[in-house]
Amino acid sequence: MAESDRLTRFVIRMHARTPRWVVPLAAVGCVAAGIGYTLLSDPTRSAPDALPTCLLKMTTGLDCPGCGATRALWYVLHADLPAAARHHFLFVFALPFLAYLFVAWAGRQAFGWRLPDLRVGPKLIGGFLAAWLAFSVVRNFPWPPFTALYV
C-alpha cells in the first residue's frame, strides 16, 4: 500500500477527532443561512433584476428548473402554501420529504436516532427528476395554459 501524503494524514486525523455532531450542525447552519437570506431579502418584492439574478433567465428569458424556488420558500415560511405552489410546485412538493430525510440523517449522525426509513429508490428519484425536467420545459411554453406557470 502506498504511503499517504501529509494532507491525507491530516484529514484522517481530523476526521477521527471530530465529534459526530459537527457535520449535521454545519448543515443546519447552511440551511439556517439560506432561510435567513430568504426572510431578509423578501424575494417577493424585489425587482426582476435584483441580485442574485438567475443567469439563464437573464440571458435567455427562460425559467430555469429552480426559478421561483426562493419565492416559494419565502411563502412556505409564511404559511402561504397556495402562493408557494404557484411559484414552484415541485419544490413545495419535495420539501417535506427533503426535510424528513435531513432530520433522519442528522439525527442518526448526531444522536444515533433511528427514524423509520423513507424508501427512496432509483426509480422514484428518476421519476421525480423526469417530472422536474418536464415541468422545467412545460413552464416555458409561450401559450395558455402553460403561461400560468411563468414566474
Task: For residue 66, tell me if it sits in a domain.
Answer: yes
**What does DSSP assign to residue 2?**
P
Residue 58 pLDDT greater than 90, yes or no? no
Q: Is 65 exposed, middle or buried (0-12, 13-18, 19+ CB in 10 A)?
A: middle
Full domain range(s) for residue 94: 6-149
Give the distance, in angstroms, between the CA of residue 76 and the centroid of all CA atoms in the same chain: 13
**What mean pLDDT is reported for the chain?**
87
Task: For residue 1, tell me if it sits in a domain.
Answer: no
Q: What is the count of structural domains for the chain?
A: 1
* DSSP string for 46-59: S-TTPSSPPHHHHH
Phi-psi region of 118 (alpha: psi -120 to 50; beta: other; left: phi over 0): beta
Task: For residue 34, tell me if it sits in a domain.
Answer: yes
pLDDT score of 151: 72
Which pTM does this prediction carry?
A: 0.77
pLDDT score of 7: 93
Task: For residue 35, tell me if it sits in a domain.
Answer: yes
